[in-house]
């Protein structure tokens, strides 16, 4: 609990600095940053990374539902970095966007038009460009957008307040355009298997602190968050060989499915499609907490949702997950832009 409260206070300072245009809030001393940079260089040689272009999953999912209703298709947008883009897998159906579009179509019984503008390697300052792309066609504004961002901000030492400011502004612009917004917060970089101490500890501390600060900024900008925690769920640390891809950095197909199952309930709740009530269930470890405390607790547990309640409170939820349907082939011609 003391560690959570400390993380909550730092997250609040970062979010406040972001809101008022302040600079970075230092989380580590100069000596620790020097160690971090040295270890990052060594880790990059070990991890490698993937230069493959992520498969394009844009198109219409659940097209068969269109013959059963006169309601228009739902529109789902994806923004963010390589995780949002689906880097590390080779089939469109394995990307998190395709998995969520297919799941959303099955649960809503409506076609879903999916569009992804995420960019591998992107930091939060690229969200301005991505939002412009997503909103360029006013006739095709998404009903809901998912953003996954933050890991590159940590590894490239972007000031946390700057990172949160860019994300918060993106959420506000999307909300102003009528989109619901769900943010998958910065994953726990301490779970990357080839990364050793002291980088593992430092990476975990930095990424969880950024995730908590992101949550505060997103909630106060009108969005919801789902903690990607120890890389999208506790299974990653326990079974890294199965849930990390060949580069030991990006998720595998099974890893992306784990992530999508964590995000799908919140995606559906935002559109009024999920049957669970918007109140805490204490038996499931859910509660109403001050925003910064909810943010800090969520950062430590993957799959945890935080949504706004009456200020200054937030609702901490552990949504029940459901198995995702197998994504069907898409109809790329059905999505414009």
Active site residues: 82, 247, 250
Cα 18 to chain centroid distance, Å, stands at 19
Please name the residues in contact with 299: beta carbons below 8 A apart, sequence gap of 6 or more: 7, 11, 185, 208, 209, 211, 212, 215, 227, 229
Cα–Cα distances (Å) from 198 to 41, 181, 205, 296, in that order, read 13, 35, 11, 22
Rounded CA Rg of the chain:
19
> Within 13 Å, how many C-alpha atoms sit on residue 20's CB side?
7
> Residue with structure tokens 């995000």?
263
CA distance 180 to 185: 16
Residues found in the chain? 337
Element (H, E) at 130: helix 127-134
């Amino acid at each position: 609990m003391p560690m959570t409260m400390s993380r909550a206070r730092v997250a609040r300072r970062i979010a406040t600095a972001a809101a008022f245009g302040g600079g970075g809030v230092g989380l580590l001393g100069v000596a620790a940053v020097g160690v971090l940079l040295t270890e990052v260089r060594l880790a990059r040689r070990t991890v490698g990374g993937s230069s493959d272009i992520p498969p394009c999953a844009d198109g219409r999912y659940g097209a068969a539902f269109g013959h059963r209703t006169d309601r228009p298709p739902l529109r789902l947008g994806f923004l963010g970095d390589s995780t949002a883009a689906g880097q590390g897998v080779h089939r469109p159906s394995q990307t998190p966007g395709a998995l969520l579009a297919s799941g959303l179509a099955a649960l809503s019984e409506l076609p879903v038009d999916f569009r992804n503008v995420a960019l591998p390697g992107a930091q939060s300052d690229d969200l301005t460009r991505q939002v412009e792309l997503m909103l360029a066609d006013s006739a095709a504004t998404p009903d809901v957008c998912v953003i996954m961002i933050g890991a590159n901000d940590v590894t490239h030492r972007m000031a946390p307040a700057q990172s949160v400011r860019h994300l918060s502004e993106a959420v506000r612009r999307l909300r102003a355009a009528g989109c619901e917004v769900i943010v998958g917060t910065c994953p726990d970089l301490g779970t990357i298997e080839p990364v050793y101490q002291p980088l593992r500890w430092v990476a975990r501390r930095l990424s969880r602190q950024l995730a908590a600060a992101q949550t505060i900024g997103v909630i106060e900008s009108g969005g919801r968050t789902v903690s990607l925690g120890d890389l999208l769920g506790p299974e990653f640390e326990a079974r890294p060989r199965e849930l990390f891809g060949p580069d030991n950095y990006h998720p595998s197909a099974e890893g992306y499915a784990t992530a999508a199952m964590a995000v799908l309930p919140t995606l559906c709740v935002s559109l009024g499609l999920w049957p669970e009530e918007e109140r805490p269930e204490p038996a499931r470890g859910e509660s109403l907490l001050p925003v910064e405390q909810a943010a800090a607790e969520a950062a430590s547990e993957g799959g945890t949702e935080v949504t706004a309640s009456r200020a200054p409170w937030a609702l901490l939820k552990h949504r029940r997950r459901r198995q995702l349907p197998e994504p069907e082939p898409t109809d790329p011609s059905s999505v414009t832009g």
